[in-house]
Structure 1
């Protein structure tokens, strides 16, 4: 026991036994492990072979082994598209690492999937409640599948004895009758039927709840009755809230995934917030290589070319990447490059055609035309989109006259875009293979309904102006759609709008003929384009204006973009309008240039453009500004935003100098951006010539001493900090959490105090 390698040798032995799934240890070894545990040999969880030093009863080991075997089989294959035979592929063969970041605390860092519930180097214990956010199709569910599979196969996280992965989609199908947490677990995982109440309390347990955004539970944290016993019966909603709050199995860990808009459903504070960002450029190539082998390079080269840049950007979404690759794999061999899809709408149009052609190859008897079935699917897509539903029931299908069993036999179209799944109690539920497919079919249904009957299905939406039926043209539909989108929450109708505009174009109308649609009369886009230009000019909410530029791209209008590029080439940007600044943001975002350094002074009018260029500032890693007082609040908001967690360097040098109508050397008081609440997201911050106040030093000290501070380089040159400010700042520098490596300051008092204390 006195040997220096004593403890690590024991962990090695334990690791070997675990990897080989030994069901029992020899009796002396069991007692020895118990002895070590009670004598408190200290070891940080997550190190030393990734296994906990804990005695496991034979019953726990037996249940654990059976659960692992079940989950290993359940998670070994990944279904791409639908779950019909032949659509699955080995998870380990196709899985591509996702870019996941830890955020929400002001300190962004990349985090490995298998470390998502482990303590970081500076943390004493693992996070008990973890939230992972990400947009639809970004890979949250696949990440959960991979995490579970790695645990089940013994590849990672063996310090966890039991993992119970649930989906809110499955939980929704449970009838609302009281049950216990133990019953809820064993109903879904019968492999642990033999676990006793004491086994749950003594084991390390992780509950995973995937898809909070799909939850139909009220999650009433305030009014649900408390529940502390896993055999006590309660509603499923009450079980969930008590488990998340830590009343039930208070030592258990909880991992929840969700789309960002639904994160607020849970008011409980999370110990860790992460975000799935999807694929970076290297991962896009890796995925294509795994999926298409020799064809991968041709597909990637096509997407990286200037004409298809916007499509390549969207490929950070794994599901979109799959759809694009599926289409290009089919088209590249037989289609000239100038006829390949260049817009998102064209890509989805070809995807729909490919599914229809596959149906024809099966030579099934035609019970209904392709158009009839697609319109039924479109009606379902639109009505459920209006309700905010991604999941729907058999009754929802029947309301749209869709017989899925018949459709599965007679048309490949339906089964290729709708997923059929079974819930916990074998209740069938359905969804489109991805939200974007639902949005595409909804747009097609709305446009075709208007073309055939002049009925504007968007008329019932709030904020939408509607003309009388006799006066309606497709322009009125377009304007209604723009109004609906601009009034919607968190971009809910953004892609629908792009699809609607794209489907109105002659090229896509010609493609629709291939699946039985009659092309509409060709009309000029000028009125629609003019309407969008007016909206862009008035818009201050930048993300919405960027989406309108994507819509102009679908309409084939590049006029604003071309004017901005002309200004850039001439070097004269002093006379461009607000709409042109938004166009500049769009140009920079879709350019193939490395988004590394962005210097606002190159564009002369920092005050006028900052708000419209916020999306660009989010994308660049190094930002240089020269601002006046008018812009300080904008920068405060920007620094406070978790959406710019990739910012590494921010330069606010010479704030307020030389701006017309603004006094020189305007004070920048950092209380404006609340840096004391752990939101300094950059690692390099220059505050040269900012005439910092004493309160600013207090906030800086608070930020430097924050456990989540990421600031490593701070420039305070040419600021008269005064004695009180220097002392406040020094208190932050002394903190053990301070990560600062370089401090620039011309104030000798600061360095004198540092030298005295050293």
Structure 2
């Protein structure tokens, strides 16, 4: 409302054109065309307003120096972003706020520019479509009299000099000769440019020639120049100063805008929290199916992590939906791992399009070999030359796996090919290893890929190991025939060798990370016998100071759950928090020593631990919980668990803020004659003189405690006599600090 104040009313002779323009944009943007290559339709059309789910956009752009795989990196950080947003450390921007001055980092009197970044498939194009649609229907940005929307992919087709007037008239010819009227009020104009990373021309905002040499300058809508000069001049407010510009880009091209006159920087995080559930509800007409699919995904941390990205959502919904809508699909076969999910993804393509070619196995092998070369060289765009090299012909079947995109180089327009997502490329590359009649040395290939330090093969390797599982291979074998047994055996032997070689080598961070990666292989394989054989002699697992995601914790839970030998689990400083502990909650009771210091589990985490301590099969003898953000709110659960537990002998609660009220509840548990605790560390937990009487009473009753640490609490001289008396009367208390 504040933005709209003081704007002049649009001249009457422009109102008719404005209404026609709004109607044109409304029609152009009201539907959403989505490639659904898993079905016979291939393209599905939705009403935008019915499917669109608001994405989380934050007013910052983070460091882009990432060496990890995109899916893993985002999964590792996404929950942290959500928490920061809840704590108001990250400010969320609605799409109707992108030009608000409160979000501007750079003030400009000549206009406003906003840059929105986001990874592939996160929804940048759909967001721009929604903004244009909402403007056309009068829902947002009423102060903009006209909005002009361009895609860099379309601008690539222009191979001659052009001016802004003709650029607009090519798309919206009904503006005729009235554009000159629009130039008089640039404050009422918004230009959107989607997909900077797809632009064939370079725009260097640090290049001073654009400001000094006439051939690069574009200061008038009638000036004939290159498309890149027009975009540059609009963003730098040299052309139509006062207008607003929105540009979107993948992070890979974001550096091009570092020197640009950008007022608002923003990043699309994707779906966070309830937005994920909302998308499932909109995707499935049957809400019972939507609920069933969402519940399955939510229970599987690996699948749930994928849900931040709309592209992954399509894979999840299209692959999982049939399991909850078709009676012949048995519920126990619903995919549990990412490999199983992608197996059904390919299965559905084969089911709908496999009859279009003579030998799906041969064609898929060639596609997979090309995909593997791409993974090796970090290549995601393939040209006709690549297809010829691998003896592939454009076909309906091929388009089921690869998207065709138009690209323009200096000479002509051509078609290029890309997989719908990098993970699909990696899966097909992994599948190819099992289709070749000449397997080669699969163990050597896997070892070389495993030793790459830039993470490019991380998901590929998980897919390869996952495909060695009969449960993952079964749906594919229906159309491709049996996967090569020799390769399967080689993969299993390689995994066994890796796990056994890395057990015990966890002194350094690299050793811990390598062992964790091999545990991920065990999880993807779902081979219980392999897991038991490889971890059968392990008594200690140490991942201290290695940051673990909820996915990592789910994998550890899987491994520990299959092995009865692990006695010592050290996850100190792993930042697992409550979400990670929730994944481990069903197995931690099996360990004798459980070190969880410095994880910020908070009170909700202790509630989960208390359930493990109450388990009648609990074997936990040592529990370290110092520096975990605990307060008096968790004391009742912990006290209840300690009153029934018969295994715990060492408990460290230091550096938490339990306070007198919380500790009084715990002292009640200590008075229980069956309490077995021998060592108790309560340094810096917020004790004062007011709890001295309860402490003395508890310790006078308890006969098992021999070691007590009360350091760094707020006792005064008033407590000294009572504590001294306790020491004198409790001869069994060998050490008190």
Q: Return the alpha-carbon distance in structure 1 between the equivalents of residues 393 and 283 of structure 2.
A: 33
Counterpart for residue 83 of structure 2: none
- Cα distance in 2 for residues equivalent to 1:481 and 1:180: 50
Q: Give the 3 Å change call, closer, same or farther, for CA 395–154 of structure 1 in structure 2.
A: farther
2:445 corresponding residue in structure 1: 477
Distance 1:325 1:208, change over 3 A: same
Q: Which residue of 2 aligns with 1:95?
A: 52
2:285 is aligned, of 288, 293, 299, to 293
- 2:349 aligns with 355
Contact 1:45–1:125 at 8 Å: present in 2 too? no
Any gaps of 5 or more consecutive residues in structure 2?
63-87, 212-216, 536-540, 542-552, 586-593, 606-624, 630-654, 657-684, 687-713, 715-737
Aligned mates of 2:316, 2:61 — CA distance in 1: 32
Deviations 1:715-752 (A, max 9, x none): xxx9xxxxxxxxxxxxxxxxxxxxxxxxxxxxxxxxxx
Secondary structure at 2:23 match in 1: helix
Q: CA deviation at 1:357?
A: 0.9
Q: In structure 1, the residue corresponding to 2:265 is in which secondary structure?
A: strand
Distance 1:400 1:299, change over 3 A: same
Tell me by how many angstroms 1:415 deviates. 3.5
**Paired position in structure 1 for 2:430:** 443
- Work out whether residues 450 and 457 of structure 2, in 8 Å CA contact, stay in contact via their aligned partners in 1: no
Partner of 1:112: 94
Any idea what the Cα deviations from partners look like across 1:646-671, whole Å, max 9, x if unmatched? xxxxxxx99xxxxxxxxxxxxxxxxx
Shift of 1:393: 4.9
Contact 2:434 2:483 (C-alpha < 8 Å) held by counterparts: no
Q: Which secondary structure state, in structure 2, belongs to the residue aligned with residue 97 of structure 1? A: coil
Partner of 2:168: 185
Q: Residues 640-655 of structure 1 correspond to what in structure 2 (within 5 A)?
A: none
**1:684-730 alpha-carbon deviations (Å, 9 max, x no partner):** xxxx99xxxxxxxxxxxxxxxxxxxxxxxxxxxx9xxxxxxxxxxxx
Q: Distance in 1 between matches of 2:27 and 2:361?
A: 39
Corresponding residue for 1:210? 194
Checking the alignment, whether the CA contact within 8 Å between 2:150 and 2:193 is kept in structure 1 is yes
1:64 aligned onto 2:58: no
- CA positional deviation for 1:46: 4.6
Q: 1:390 to 1:549 in 2, by over 3 A?
A: same
Q: What secondary structure is seen at the aligned counterpart in 1 of 2:248?
A: strand
CA contact (8 A) 2:17 2:175 kept: yes
Q: What does 1:661-676 correspond to in 2, within 5 Å?
A: none
Structure 1 residue 75, shift from structure 2 partner: 1.6
Tell me by how many angstroms 1:519 deviates: 1.3
Query: Which one has a bigger Cα radius of gyration?
Result: 2
Superposed CA RMSD in Å reads 4.5
Distance 2:430 2:227 in 1: 36
Match of 1:510 among 459, 474, 480: 474
Counterpart residue number, 2:612: none
Could you tell me the TM-score, scaled by structure 2's length?
0.61
Instruction: Give the deviation of 1:512 after TM superposition.
Output: 3.0
Per-residue deviation, 1:395: 5.4
In 2, the alpha carbon distance for the partners of 1:435 and 1:182 equals: 39
Deviations 1:451-485 (A, max 9, x none): 54346xxxxxxxxxxxxxxxx3x23222222233x
Task: Map 1:415-434 onto structure 2 (within 5 A).
Answer: 415-420=399-404, 428-434=415-421
Measure, in 1, the Cα distance between the counterparts of 2:57 and 2:476.
Answer: 39
SS at match of 2:59: strand
Report the alpha carbon displacement of residue 385 of structure 1 after superposing the two structures with TM.
4.9
2: CA distance between counterparts of 1:60 and 1:428?
40
Is 1:220–1:238's contact at 8 Å kept on the other side of the alignment? no
Aligned to 1:329: 321
SS of the residue aligned with 1:284? helix
**Which residue is 2:244 aligned to?**
253
Deviation at 1:394, TM superposition (A): 5.2
Match of 1:134 in 2: 118
Q: TM-score, normalised by structure 1?
A: 0.60
CA contact (8 A) 2:205 2:256 kept: no
Residue 364 of structure 2 corresponds to residue 374 of structure 1 = yes
- Residue 87 of structure 1: how far off its partner (Å): 1.1
| CA positional deviation for 1:432 | 2.9
1:162–1:205 contact (8 Å) kept in structure 2: yes
Do 1:101 and 1:108's aligned partners in 2 also have CA atoms closer than 8 Å? yes
SS in structure 2 of the partner of residue 150 of structure 1: helix
**Residue 110 of structure 1: SS of its match in structure 2?**
coil
Give the deviation of 1:110 after TM superposition. Answer: 2.0
**CA offsets per residue over residues 189-222 of structure 1, 9 Å max, x none?**
4444534345235132222222333344332223
**Cα deviation, residue 349, structure 1:** 0.8
- Give 1:343 shift: 0.8
Give the distance between the partners of 1:574 and 1:200, measured in 2 at CA: 75
Deviation at 1:503, TM superposition (A): 2.7
Report if the CA contact (8 A) 2:277-2:294 is conserved. Answer: yes
Cα separation, partners in 2 of 1:453 and 1:266, compared to 1, 3 Å: farther
Instruction: Encode CA deviations 1:238-284: one digit per residue, 9 max, x unaligned.
Output: 33333333322332222222333432232225322222222234222
Paired residues of 1:536 and 1:548 also in contact (CA < 8 A): no
The CA distance in 1 between the partners of 2:235 and 2:511, in whole Å, is 35
Please point out which of 70, 77, 80 is paired with 2:31: 77
Of 310, 315, 323 in structure 1, the residue corresponding to residue 307 of structure 2 is 315
Alpha-carbon separation, structure 2, partners of 1:241 and 1:293: 45
C-alpha displacement of 1:565: 9.8
Identify unmatched segments of 5+ residues in structure 1: 1-42, 456-471, 595-601, 611-615, 617-622, 628-652, 655-687, 690-717, 719-758
1-structure distance, mates of 2:24, 2:134 = 13
Q: Post-superposition shift, 1:103?
A: 2.3
SS in 2 for 1:277: strand
Label 1:96 to 1:585 Cα distance change in 2 as closer, same or farther (>3 A).
same
CA distance in structure 2 between the aligned counterparts of 1:78 and 1:440, rounded to whole angstroms: 27
Aligned equivalents of 1:216 and 1:545: distance in 2? Answer: 43
Q: What does 1:147-226 correspond to in 2, within 5 Å?
A: 147-175=131-159, 177-197=160-180, 199-203=182-186, 204-223=188-207, 224-226=209-211
Corresponding residue for 1:403? 393
Distance 1:543 1:230 in 2: 56
Paired residues, number: 528
Tell me the CA shift for residue 351 of structure 1: 1.0
Task: Answer whether contact 1:131 1:272 (CA < 8 A) is retained.
Answer: yes
The verdict on how the C-alpha distance between 1:563 and 1:515 changes in structure 2, with shifts beyond 3 A counting, is closer
Contact 2:407 2:415 in 1 (8 A): yes
